[in-house]
Chains A and B, each alone.
Chain A
Amino acid sequence: MRKITFPHMGNLFLIAKALFEELGFEVVVPPYNNKSTLEIGKKLSPEFICLPFKLNMGNFIQAIEMGADTIVIFGGCGPCRFGYYGALEKEILKDLGYDVEIIVIEPLFYGFRNFLKQVSKIFARKNVASILKRVYRLAKKVDEIEKKVHFLRPREMVKGSVDKIYERFRKEALEVCGIDQMERLVDTTNVLFDNLYIVNEKVRKIGIVGEIYTIIDSFSSLNIEKILGEMGCEVERNLYISQWIDTHLIYPIFKMKNPIVKRFSKDVMPVLIGGHARETISYARYFSTQNYDGILHIFPLTCMPEIIAKSVLNGIKNRINIPLLHIVIDEVDSDVGIKTRLEAFLDLIEARSEKFERGVLSWD
């Protein structure tokens, strides 16, 4: 029987684990992203590749050492290098002498036959449709948990209680098996969260936009969401895993587009340039209309689509008229620098809102 593994990306492992177990495979979940993951990945990756690639490589090696023999990743075409990662990772692992199969699932609209060929390797002799439906529901629920964490962190009565529950949830998720058990775990965690005492303090709302991996995966973003939560900010980001499924797998089937992206990118970026540049721009503009106090733009070093998004955002700065901070992430281990920037950013927001209360409406 295949022993399937997949790279980490935030809470993706919860969903992928349940899915593959339901399909009857054995699943090897690599250890959470940590320093040694990055260390391994760094050694094997091209020097100027972005951080997600390095972490992926580390995940693979650690999973192979734990006994995995099949790696499933998503691919994709387009100017972002990510589409090429599957092929590159395959070659690197081959050179290292690992005997593993990499299954790259390309999005549907890049060729139906190829998609079926790849997918048939992992989806066999089961009622796929109903499983996928349940997995989708699970993904939605897991994201609800994450949203709840973001909501509760700045408001919790006993500091650290949210994270305690959340960490336990992530730990226990490794021990349960299948969609049903996972769903039950999610439900019990939800009950725990609902019973937390919250205090009504003044909470600032920060919108996070940027490259998908670095904003979803807390290790790579040096726990920015948690840091902000502890500083008394509620965060909301533009991408969650279920939302990614919506945009990339559900919408194309119905020939639809994300309504927010459609509305806010028309005039500044009418065509797709790859990656999530369009999402970044449109959600930054969307957040600025939605009573947010500030926007964080997070992306890994050398990420082309996000660099373009950054320039575009700077170009339309007077139109969005909201504090905007760009944070570039690479193999940095210490979060002191990030904390300094975030602190200064919140000071700026504070000063600005005081100004607003005194009745000045615009800067420039």
Chain B
Amino acid sequence: MKEEFFLGIDIGSVSTNVVLIDINGEVIESMYFRTQGKPIEILQKSLCTLYEKYGDSLKIKGVGTTGSGRHLASLVVGADIVKNEITAHAKAAIFFVPDVRTVIEIGGQDSKIILIKDKIVIDFAMNTICAAGTGSFLDRQAERLNIPIENFGPIAINSKNPVRIAGRCAVFAESDMIHKQQLGHPCEDILFGLCLALARNYLTNLAKGKKLESPILFQGGVAANIAMKKAFEQLLGVQIIVPKYYNVMGAIGIALLAKESTKGLITKFKGFENLHKCRFETKGFECHDCSNFCEIVCFYSNGNLVARWGDKCQKYSSNRNHHIENSKNL
């Protein structure tokens, strides 16, 4: 194992994914953890697992972070590139299916649609304020029905006669669904009805006015659900591809971007050795110096202030780099 490797980290609301790719973009290792609201701990744990498995032979030449916790993660590991999840997902999709035209991505809190032409993103949309059409909604409903989320798809796919469920808002959908249950509809019909409602909601809210052209990729954690794939196929009338690494596409994308951005130069990665010894901490306070009342977030590593952000006037965040350079314990 003397080759060069690139690390991609995607910290989302529900899952934390870490992938290792080699110089050709081949996925060597992919790991999927539940974030459980503790992004730093989980990130440390996952990197330690990686280190235990490969030991010192692992030469990391570049690291990238993405997802809603990307800035935090970049401070923890020392990332070469910090990018948004839309670009990362598009990158991975294009890498695996070069002629892809549409990417449907449904994660825990976000759902996105990305339109691609000639290998570049031409349009995208992301759910606005509401998260009714996302993975956590399915998760919650499965929990309510006392069905493990892994069994959701296999059960739902048996449905012959799906019930119609209002999908516009999670609150309406839930009460509508309960009503249908009380009428005695079988479980699989209700589950597939939910899938259809979610797919309809996605297509009316995000894909409105956009032409979805094949090949269509379906990725994100929800793509594990074969009933969701079937629902989209039914509504769109075309075949949908679920890539092999559907649930870690963001991490793969950012690893590919890290590979591009470092160009074989030196990486900012802090190394595995120090990582599990470090103790990271986040504290917040409200600044009352003016009437903006900004909430300032302070990030500490081993008790040293590493970064601060959240202020509008840059009183705190402007000396961020100064602190990073001066903290020896990183």
Contact = CB atoms under 8 A, between A and B. Distances in A.
A binds B: yes
Contacts of B123: 323, 348
Given A315-B209, A348-B124, A340 B129 contact: no
A68 to B, nearest CB: 16
A311 B313 contact: no
Interface string A177-190: 00000000000000
Nearest to B66: A340
Interface string B288-312: 0011110000000000000000001
A340 to B, nearest CB: 5
A361 interface: no
Interface string A33-67: 01110000000000000000000000000000000
A148 interface: no
B86 A340 contact: yes
Interface residues of A, number: 41
A352 interface: yes
Given A328-B128, A340-B84, A344-B87, A163 B314 contact: yes
Interface string B186-230: 000000000000000000000011000000000000000000000
B118 interface: yes
Nearest to A230: B314
Contacts of A340: 68, 84-86, 126
Chief secondary structure at chain A's binding surface: helix
B124 A344 contact: yes
Interface string A304-345: 000000010011010000010011101010001101110111
Contacts of B209: 311, 314-315, 317
Interface in B108-154: 117-118, 120-126, 128-129
A320 to B, nearest CB: 13
Contact of B293 (A35, A314, A351): A35
B259 interface: no
A50 B68 CA distance: 27
A363 B290 contact: no
B262 to A, nearest CB: 18
A94 interface: no
Contacts of B282: none
Interface residues of B, number: 27
Contacts of B125: 326
A332 B125 CA distance: 18
B83 interface: yes
B153 to A, nearest CB: 28
A171 interface: yes
B318 interface: yes
Contact of A355 (B87, B118, B128, B129): B118
Interface string A143-180: 00000000000000001100110010001000000000
A363 B291 contact: no
A193 interface: no
Nearest to B68: A336
A113 to B, nearest CB: 40
Contacts of B86: 340-341, 343-344, 347
A340 B128 CA distance: 12
Contacts of A35: 293
A160 B122 contact: no
Given A159-B318, A311-B209, A340-B86, A164 B129 contact: no
A315 B209 CA distance: 7
Nearest to B121: A348
A36 B208 CA distance: 36
Interface string B259-299: 00000000000000000000000000000001111000000
**A159, A167, A223 pick with most chain B CB within 10 angstroms:** A167
Contact of A351 (B84, B85, B120, B313): B120
Given A163-B313, A344-B87, A34 B124 contact: no
A82 B117 CA distance: 42
Interface in B63-93: 68, 83-87
A32 interface: yes
A277 to B, nearest CB: 17
Nearest to A329: B129
A167 B290 CA distance: 10
Contact of A347 (B87, B118, B126): B87
A321 to B, nearest CB: 11
A156 to B, nearest CB: 12
Contact of A343 (B83, B291, B314): B83
Contacts of A330: 129
Given A34-B292, A344-B124, A328 B313 contact: no
Interface of A: 31-32, 34-36, 159-160, 163-164, 167, 171, 219, 223, 226, 301, 311, 314-315, 317, 323, 326-328, 330, 332, 336-337, 339-341, 343-345, 347-348, 351-352, 354-355, 360, 363
5 contacts: A32-B291, A317-B209, A341-B86, A343-B84, A347-B121
Given A32-B291, A301-B129, 11 more contacts: A35-B293, A164-B313, A167-B313, A314-B209, A323-B123, A336-B68, A337-B126, A340-B84, A344-B87, A344-B121, A351-B121
Interface of B: 68, 83-87, 117-118, 120-126, 128-129, 208-209, 290-293, 312-314, 318
